[in-house]
Amino acid sequence: MPQGCPCGSKYRYTECCKPLHDGAPAATAEALMRSRYSAYALCLVPYLLDSWHRSTRPALGLDDLDPATRWLGLRIVDHAIDAGDPEAATVEFIARFRVGGGSARRLHERSRFRRVDGRWQYLDGEILKPA
């Protein structure tokens, strides 16, 4: 997918994750999740920090992103708004990646998001065991 968005959607980057990277608010937690995956693929550290909830945001630097990591694909498994709180959502996803010349690995995570002042932010995540 040479000109597809890094998040693996059917859209071009300029019509998918780039507007979010340029500052547009994500319409849903899933859209934010996709844009954060793309940001990892493109090493957009400032965006990763901006989209991280203040309470859990790490002191992330470019050095914390391994340039040998290649992000191979993203699959959204589930996206749900919390029953009692429309400002909270969870997104379950599987991201595939490869480090250097190693074999492809999977990150299966259920992430929690919160909307703060109209902007979805990543709160934290739980790694799920491979099936």
Using CB under 5 A, pick the residue from 3, 17, 29, 130 that binds Zn ion: 17
State the number of binding residues for Zn ion (CB under 5 A). 6
Q: Is 5 in the site for Zn ion (CB under 5 A)?
A: yes
- To the nearest whole angstrom, how small is the minimum distance from the Cβ of residue 2 to Zn ion? 14
| Tokens 């693929």 -> residue | 41
Span 26-85, contacts to Zn ion by CB under 5 A: 34
* Plot region of 39 (φ>0 → left; ψ -120 to 50 → alpha; else → beta): alpha
What phi and psi values does residue 91 have, to the nearest 5 degrees? -130, 125
Shorter beta-carbon distance to Zn ion: residue 34 or 36: 34
